[in-house]
A and B are shown apart, each in its own frame.
Chain A
Amino acid sequence: AQSVSQHNHHVILSEAASLELGCNYSYGGTVNLFWYVQYPGQHLQLLLKYFSGDPLVKGIKGFEAEFIKSKFSFNLRKPSVQWSDTAEYFCAVTRKAAGNKLTFGGGTRVLVKP
């Protein structure tokens, strides 16, 4: 079945550690890729998005993600996390054939210990 997969359900790390969250999708054709973040008690917010062009995209709060078409991947990275990065992170995909309907991955809960 076509889907979006996030490999890690929970990640625990210390401040200043590097973070990488994996995301793979199984759709063919043209896709748009997103990472959303949900801080505790808050709404989903867009971190970054990829539509076309440079496959390395930079988002807010020092996050970046790399689109590797051959691997159907869109991994999220941050070189040095802070305690305030504690949140749940969602990868999501839209397909040009399916309008703006976002299909989400299962989410990764990240806990950054001070």
Chain B
Amino acid sequence: EPEVTQTPSHQVTQMGQEVILRCVPISNHLYFYWYRQILGQKVEFLVSFYNNEISEKSEIFDDQFSVERPDGSNFTLKIRSTKLEDSAMYFCASSGLAGGTGELFFGEGSRLTVL
């Protein structure tokens, strides 16, 4: 069964460092997403990406965040200068359909710990 894969599963970094979280979406999907879940809180939408550009982003997704699809398979989330409050589980998801009709398939998450 096709699945979304994420690396690393856990990353520990110092405050101020850059972090790149990687995702390989399901191969024929066209819509890509990042969500995050701070420990004990809701799963929150960060950004959606389609046709090589951001289609929507939340207030959380400020200038410290960026996304990229550098090749045909990877979808990355970069945090330029990490803060303590960026510590969270980051989930990548992909979907084959738009318009609120598609199921999102999630990866297992990348746990980011900022010290």
Give the interface of A toward B (CB within 8 A): 32, 34, 36, 42-46, 49, 51, 90, 92, 94-96, 98-107
Contacts and interface: CB of A to CB of B under 8 A. Distances in A.
Contact of A101 (B41, B48, B108): B48
B102 A100 contact: yes
Contact of A107 (B43, B97, B101, B105): B43
Instruction: Return the 9 tightest CB-CB contacts between A and B, nearest first.
Output: A94-B100, A44-B106, A43-B108, A104-B43, A43-B106, A96-B100, A106-B42, A32-B100, A101-B45
Contacts of A36: 106
A54 to B, nearest CB: 17
Given A46-B105, A94-B100, 6 more contacts: A32-B101, A45-B106, A95-B100, A98-B56, A100-B101, A106-B41
A99 B48 contact: yes
Contact of A100 (B41, B91, B97, B108): B97
A49 B100 CA distance: 11
Contacts of A44: 43, 91, 93, 106
A41 to B, nearest CB: 8
Interface in B68-115: 91, 93, 95, 97-109
B18 interface: no
A33 to B, nearest CB: 10
B55 interface: yes
